[in-house]
Amino acid sequence: MEILHITSRRDPRVKSAAALRDSPVQRRKDGLFLCEGARLCEDAARSGVKIRACFFTRKAQEKYGRYLEEIGRVSPEGYLVEEPVAKLISSTKNYQGVFCLCESPQMPGSSSEERPLRKSSCVVLENLQDPGNLGGVLRTAEALGVEQIFLLGDCCDPFSPKALRSSMGAAFRLELRRAEDAGALCKGLKKEGFALLAAVPDHTAKKITELPLSARLCAVFIGNEGNGLEKETISLCGERVTIPMPGRAESLNALAAATILIWEMQRKEGKADEGF
């Protein structure tokens, strides 16, 4: 890694890093994102994310040398930056002073012609808007052994600073796929043998505790924080499932609800040999 020194906050590379942090449009346009934090940058390096450059402070060099070494092996350029520069590009108050400029991993579409679908139960997130929720769901999915996630409709960017932080790097390791069209996605999944389950807060739907979720190849569809799934998506799925709540109904937040759905999909019969 070649190391250059950046002292000015007006340096174009600094400005561009700050723009990538703030703007989903910029990230899409450039095909790049900014990753912050020693552990998260190391995760990116280990997961095969293409790193273009690493920014770090002198303090970070002392404190996170072990991480920077690993990052340095795959980053062609390194920028030693002054504290005010680090402060400018950080999205947290207590920054560690380690940042990577990364190429956004390619997110294939939902068609199996584009890339064969994995034949294991998966999650479809539709219009999920909060980056903390999206990141949290990715983290949970990874922990519980889900490998493939579809982002349907207008989901927030999984490579925004907050989503990355909440996902603890899960976004680098999961197979994330974009799906513009619910119809095409559902058709493709059905063709491959997936049972499509629309999660709805409605006590007339089938209780997830009554379904042998883990015995089937499932795709669980989870909707927007406030409005749930689109009506059309629900009818495309065919099967409606709900989380029984003996206490106060309709009162789980998006992450808690997704966690229970993923857990039920992954936990049951015959999985003892897979870690359950």
Residues of this chain that interact with a second copy (CB under 8 A) are: 136, 139-146, 166, 168, 170, 173, 207, 209, 244-249, 251-253, 255-256, 259-260, 263, 266-267, 271, 274-276
Indicate the residue among 7 and 120 with the shorter CB distance to a second copy: 120
d(CA 89, CA 74): 22
Q: At closest approach, how far in Å is the CB of 253 from a second copy? A: 6
Q: Residue 201's closest CA among 156, 268, 257?
A: 257
- Write out the two tokens for 7: 């002292």
Q: What is the distance between the alpha carbons of residues 235 and 184, in angstroms, rounded to a whole number?
A: 14
Residue 94 C-beta: closest distance to a second copy, Å: 14
Q: Which is nearer to a second copy, 124 or 265 (CB)?
A: 265
Nearer to a second copy, 185 or 255 (CB): 255
Q: How many CB atoms neighbour CB 10 within 10 A?
A: 9
Nearer to a second copy, 85 or 261 (CB): 261
Buried-state track 35-57, b at ≥16 Cβ within 10 A, e below 16: bbbbebbbbbbeeebbbebbbbb
DSSP 200: -
**How far apart are CB 269 and a second copy at their closest, in Å?**
10
Q: Which is nearer to a second copy, 5 or 204 (CB)?
A: 204
Q: Which of 75, 63, 11 is nearest to 37 (CA)?
A: 63
Beta carbon of residue 69, minimum distance to a second copy (angstroms, whole number): 23
Under DSSP, the state recorded for 224 is B
d(CA 213, CA 150): 18
Other Cβ atoms less than 10 A from the Cβ of 19: the count is 17
Shortest CB 177 distance to a second copy, Å: 18
In the complex with a second copy, the residue whose CB is nearer, 146 or 197, is 146
d(CA 251, CA 228): 13
Would you tell me how many other CB atoms lie within 10 Å of the CB of residue 246? 5
CB of 183 to a second copy, least distance (A): 30
